[in-house]
Homo-oligomer: A and B are copies of this chain.
Amino acid sequence: MSLVVVGSVAYDGIETPHGRTDRTLGGACTYIALSASYFTQAKIVGVVGDDFDPKDEELLRNHNIDLEGLERVPGKTFYWAGKYSNDMNDRETLVTDLNVFGDFNPKLPEAYKNQPYLVLGNIQPALQRSVRAQMNGVRLVGGDTMNYWIKDYRDELLATIREWDFLLINDSEARMLSGEHNLRKAAGKILGMGPNTLVIKRGEYGAILFRPDGHSIVPGYLLDEVFDPTGAGDCFAGGFIGYLAERGFDLKQGHIGHKELSRAVIYGSVLGSFCCERFGVDRFRSLTRAEIDARFDEFRAFTEF
């Protein structure tokens, strides 16, 4: 079933110990949609400038992504540039030019409004909320946020996630949002804020999925080489929600089992790991569903006992 994806579409300049690129397609919406496209049709909502490259549009179309909601306005596309530390555990932002993204006010095409699945990339919580309000009877909604909104837009963020089924954040964001250092306690508090499903991403260490009745832990995939981690968290989100949409699940208690939920988290980990193998979105130029399923099976092999 189709999935509406909202968030940034951008150009990124990236420097890692393995090389650099001055300008490559990026943005949360892009990464989520490309990852989810292996499971379901993604319909994106975003904004780009008149510098948006037809070749990038072609990459998205090749993944059967619906671009009706991709607004094109005069000006330049959002540009971000960053540099990773030698161990790639830290990155420094060098440039953030919001450009046309500064006035992003997502409006859903009519054909999007009755879709059952909605994932909201990391944007202003009020905008995330306005998108949610434009949907008619959405079956499953969730998304991402970041430290900036948690710290300075807390009330808006709380009003937004109150209407979500799942929240996907990293461990430091979970600690900041809950005020608890211990992840079990942090998760308990966050599950009281609205979502019945919380996925805490831990980078190379994998992820933990919390529900009111228990949790699942999924380790990270061990890559031979992390080429560029940009977008890995968004690809995780795309794999997670993509799998749920493909199977037609919602997240209501009793509607989905613990093992199915773990599989969704593993597909998230799988997509995040592929993302790191090349610069930017490059891995998605060749990635196949068969490769994704083969890596899923590897998870079974290295975790079973």
Contact = CB atoms under 8 A, between A and B. Distances in A.
Interface of A: 86-87, 181-185, 202, 205-206, 208, 214-220, 222-226, 258-259, 262-263, 266, 299-305
Contacts of A181: 86-87
* Identical copies of this chain, number: 2
Given A182-B225, A224-B184, A305-B266, A217 B214 contact: no
A304 B87 contact: no
27 contacts: A86-B181, A87-B181, A182-B223, A182-B225, A182-B226, A184-B222, A184-B224, A185-B224, A202-B205, A205-B205, A206-B219, A215-B302, A216-B302, A216-B303, A216-B305, A217-B302, A217-B303, A218-B219, A218-B303, A219-B219, A258-B301, A259-B304, A259-B305, A262-B303, A262-B304, A262-B305, A266-B305
Contact of A182 (B216, B219, B224): B224
B302 A222 contact: no
Given A222-B208, A224-B182, A224-B185, A214 B301 contact: yes
A223 B305 contact: no
A184 B226 CA distance: 11
A259 B302 CA distance: 9
Nearest to A263: B305
Contacts of A305: 216, 218, 259, 262-263, 266, 299-300
